Structure 1
Amino acid sequence: MESAAQPSGPGRRSLRDHAYETLRRRIIEVELRPGERLVERDLATELRVSRIPLREALRLLAAEGLVLLVPHRGALVAPFTPSDVRDLFDVRESLESLAARLAAERADEEGLRRLAARLDAARTATREHDRPTIAAANAAFHTDIVDLAANALLSGVMRPLEARMHWLFHLTAQRDPAQQCAEHERLYEAIAARDGDRAARLAHEHVADGRPASLALAARWSMPDIDPEAIAARRRRGRAEAGKRGAAGDA
């Protein structure tokens, strides 16, 4: 039972944000693996928050596709299914190609310097075989290109996908980092040369190249007994049945 002295307003939001940011980072960096149960009691103790802000944080993570809320089973890190990977790559291949084309047309010198610095960070991490830093730098490189595209609508569409994209880079960290770095270098050169057609083509090829490895990984981590679509359908049926019972009681 929750204490009557629950914080409200900014205090509770800060606890929720603390729980959200901590769990988000741990999921994206694969400290918490797909399918792993998130036990509220244990997490509340570990994060030093009560269950109300923790549950709010879990709902935010569920909205990003990182957490699955399963009736009668609680929360777990969302399984990374082959259909999830397919859908994500379908969207990325189109939108990241557009972002690269626009970045080549619109990036200013300061933006290009930021992108080059991000590429340098990835090179350094690649030489040092620092896989977590490689994954973070590569994900940020893609985010920077979207920013350089200077298209508010495109940024708004891509923003909800960022968490899953960063997660994907960490999940597939075993991909050849030298090859990824070389592909990013060619993409940067096309953007810096203001060659929109080449930038779009290279972005599409780069994203498509990661699809097979990601699909293979998702197949290994898939959990057939936990189907998000089936869970959503059960929730809809439950709400409909509850509504019918309520209507019958009022009659």
Structure 2
Amino acid sequence: MLDALATLRDTAHTWHFGRTRMDTASTAREARSVRQPLERPVPLRQAAYDVIAEMIIAGELQPGEHLVEKDLAAQLGVSRQPVREALQRLHTEGWVDLRPALGAFVHVPTDDEADQLLATRTLLEAESARLAAKNATPEQIAHLWELQRAGEKALAEDDQEGLVKANATLHAHVATMSGNRVLAGLIAQVDRRVRWYYRPIARSRGAEAWDEHRALIEVIASRNGKKASDMMRRHTERTRESYHDRA
């Protein structure tokens, strides 16, 4: 009997000790869970992808141009491996064509490709303008006017890159104002392609585009969602038409 009691005491002590250790470990895990995640550097393949994509958008790499891995690697200051991985991803996403035995070339966009993307953009941005008119804060509208002034400044200075950037930033802000993160995310996904297509027509759209932006901001500020949607649809459709009418 005494042996049984001793065994029971030992078992209880062991269970209590084990339970205490489990509780302590659980508390420690909870304490660790509130730490901020570690900062991680962007992988070289991602950095190479971003830079090459922006070089294509900016026209530094022209449609149809041959992309030589070793030259790009030397230009970016990296080995050929991240450049090769970046080119594979750019090929998958339609920025680059990989030709057997010939190498990589900047994709030459077709009118049909551009039409499909710009048509999709119209649908997304018309809805974002409607929601922006409904949800906009005075501070957001004030920022829209700041972006409008930046665009008008680029227009006055005949700054093509400034026009492309200002146009993209203003449209992105309208998407943010919508309050719909899924919609804003979809618009962001097509933003790079839109900037690529917009660059050749930024000057020809010129004052007309920024007059349309000004009118759009006024309608958003008036809280007229339907009118803002209709105006954004007409605005983006004019850009689509201008792309097809380019020389």
RMSD: 1.8
Aligned counterparts of 2:177 and 2:202: Cα–Cα separation in 1: 25
- Indicate yes or no: 2:181 matched with 1:181: no
Unaligned runs of 5+ in 2: 1-39
Q: SS of the residue aligned with 1:76? A: strand
What per-residue deviation string (whole Å, max 9, x for no partner) do you get for residues 182-217 of structure 1? 011011111111111111111011111122321244
1:224 corresponds in structure 2 to none
2:11 corresponds in structure 1 to none
Aligned counterparts of 2:112 and 2:102: Cα–Cα separation in 1: 23
- Indicate yes or no: 2:109 matched with 1:58: no
Aligned counterparts of 2:106 and 2:175: Cα–Cα separation in 1: 27
1:19 corresponds in structure 2 to 48
Say how many residue pairs are matched: 208
Aligned counterparts of 1:50 and 1:168: Cα–Cα separation in 2: 31
Q: Aligned to 2:98, which of 69, 73, 90?
A: 69
CA contact (8 A) 1:65 1:164 kept: no
Aligned counterparts of 2:64 and 2:234: Cα–Cα separation in 1: 30
CA contact (8 A) 2:147 2:170 kept: yes
Counterparts of 1:74-85 in structure 2, within 5 Å, are 74-85=103-114
Percent identity of equivalent pairs? 36
2:126 corresponds in structure 1 to 97
1:62/1:141 CA distance change after superposition, 3 Å? farther
- Indicate yes or no: 2:161 matched with 1:166: no
Q: Which moved more, 1:109-118 or 1:120-129?
A: 109-118
Report the TM-score when normalising by structure 2.
Answer: 0.78
**Greater CA radius of gyration, 1 or 2?**
2
Aligned counterparts of 1:154 and 1:142: Cα–Cα separation in 2: 12
What per-residue deviation string (whole Å, max 9, x for no partner) do you get for residues 118-165 of structure 1? 111001111111121011101211111111111122123222211101
Q: SS of the residue aligned with 1:49? A: coil
1:22/1:45 CA distance change after superposition, 3 Å? same
Q: Which moved more, 1:140-149 or 1:165-174?
A: 165-174
Q: Which moved more, 1:197-206 or 1:61-70?
A: 61-70
Which amino acid in the other structure matches residue 147 of structure 1?
T
Aligned counterparts of 2:101 and 2:176: Cα–Cα separation in 1: 41
1:45/1:112 CA distance change after superposition, 3 Å? same
Unaligned runs of 5+ in 1: 1-9, 221-251
Q: Aligned to 1:150, which of 147, 164, 179?
A: 179
Report the TM-score when normalising by structure 1.
Answer: 0.77
- Indicate yes or no: 2:105 matched with 1:37: no
Which amino acid in the other structure matches residue 82 of structure 1?
D
What per-residue deviation string (whole Å, max 9, x for no partner) do you get for residues 83-104 of structure 1? 1111012201211111100111
2:165 corresponds in structure 1 to 136
Q: SS of the residue aligned with 2:232? A: helix
1:55/1:216 CA distance change after superposition, 3 Å? farther
Q: Please report how far the alpha carbon of residue 79 of structure 1 lies from its aligned counterpart in structure 2 after TM superposition.
A: 1.0
CA contact (8 A) 1:126 1:178 kept: yes
2:244 corresponds in structure 1 to 215
Q: Please report how far the alpha carbon of residue 76 of structure 1 lies from its aligned counterpart in structure 2 after TM superposition.
A: 1.8
Q: Please report how far the alpha carbon of residue 63 of structure 1 lies from its aligned counterpart in structure 2 after TM superposition.
A: 4.4
Structure with the larger RCO, 1 or 2 (CA within 8 Å, 6+ apart): 1
Which amino acid in the other structure matches residue 164 of structure 2?
A
